[in-house]
A and B are shown apart, each in its own frame.
Chain A
């Protein structure tokens, strides 16, 4: 099995555009949209949704009879989700990150866990028969990590997995990188694009994940991104030019590789170089 993560650091550089177009051009494998706060791969791939699963997360339930109000759970919790008060323990379930720590530190064995829904995963088939899954975190929830973990479990038996990752380098991005063989960084050659990309590179280095860069919106900005990649010895697999008709076509919810032959050729070039790096 090969897992390829498409990520960027900065939002809006073209993660979804690249991931969906590579997926369609390759014509095999499965795609998961792990950008669960704002999933949008399905807008372009237009799957026929056949199944929707509710994703649940645990939160502590305190047996007030057993509790001696020692305060250890509240001291332990990094997210203020459990608050030992005067006569009882308050639980703010939406703040809980489901780490299990409060139960471990409770000497009275007063803590068990309950479950609640925090989002859902939709699965559907594209018109060409390929399958995609996308997670959708309920608005107001603090963390989409459990949804991303479940997405990974759903594709355990697949041969090839494309991951449309969340932006940034926070917990959700780290979760999206679980078990990933190779990372494709989509970067725009602007100071902001480079600054955020550096954080992604640092994260990937720390996780020991091989990487390459695809420059999107090439022609904008400056030379610094290329200088950085040269210094870091990170291969630039392709440069996708900035073109207004690409932006317009994207904005109408259509796939660029279907409309623009030269764009499809770039996708094929990326796939060719990627397969040489990761094996088939």
Chain B
């Protein structure tokens, strides 16, 4: 199951600019092409949204997640849940981003893209 951080609920949704506080995660099952979504409950957390979001993805049997960026705690959680993570850069739709992933255009992340408490500063 692939998950993509999304601003709304389907394949035509635009991808999100954040992971832990993404509005939704659109889920795409590669085996049968079924589409579903999760309303990301972690977005309202005062802290630790990244870790909580990873747990939600794990509960939804996600094994690959496509993200714009990832904080250090979320990265620790992703590793502990053995979920693979790939980074998108362009603000496309969920569908286009999944295609980019399937065509091998997205880079696998092995490390977080930001340091702790870095706010909006990007790497």
Residues of A within 8 A of B (CB): 74, 79-81, 83, 85-88, 90, 92, 94-95, 140, 142
Contacts and interface: CB of A to CB of B under 8 A. Distances in A.
B26 interface: no
Q: Chain B interface: which size bin? A: 10 to 19
Contacts of B42: 80
A90 B58 contact: no
Nearest to B49: A80
B51 interface: yes
A94 to B, nearest CB: 8
17 contacts: A79-B47, A80-B47, A80-B51, A81-B48, A83-B52, A83-B54, A83-B77, A85-B55, A85-B58, A85-B81, A86-B58, A86-B81, A87-B80, A88-B80, A90-B51, A95-B48, A140-B116
Interface in B34-91: 42, 45-49, 51-52, 54-55, 58, 73, 76-77, 80-82
Nearest to B117: A140
Given A79-B46, A90-B76, A92-B48, 19 more contacts: A80-B42, A80-B45, A80-B49, A80-B52, A83-B52, A83-B54, A83-B77, A85-B55, A85-B58, A85-B80, A86-B58, A86-B80, A88-B80, A90-B77, A90-B80, A94-B116, A95-B73, A140-B117, A142-B47
Which 5 pairs across A and B sit closest by C-beta, in order of nearness? A80-B48, A85-B80, A80-B52, A83-B51, A95-B48
**Residue among A79, A80, A87, A88 with max Cβ neighbours from chain B (10 Å):** A80
B55 A83 contact: yes
Interface of B: 42, 45-49, 51-52, 54-55, 58, 73, 76-77, 80-82, 116-117
A164 B117 CA distance: 28
Main secondary structure of the interface of A (DSSP, over half): loop
B51 to A, nearest CB: 5
A85 B48 contact: no
Contacts of A88: 80
A86 B58 CA distance: 9
Nearest to B47: A95
A95 B47 CA distance: 7
Contacts of B73: 92, 95
A88 B48 CA distance: 18
A172 to B, nearest CB: 14
Contacts of B49: 80
A87 B58 CA distance: 13
Contacts of A90: 51, 76-77, 80
Contacts of B58: 85-86
A81 B49 CA distance: 10
Contacts of B116: 94, 140
A86 B82 contact: yes
Nearest to B53: A80
Given A80-B47, A92-B48, A95-B47, A74 B55 contact: yes
A77 to B, nearest CB: 8
Contact of B80 (A79, A83, A95): A83
Nearest to B20: A80
Contacts of A86: 58, 80-82
Contacts of B80: 83, 85-88, 90
Contacts of A95: 47-48, 73
A83 B81 CA distance: 10
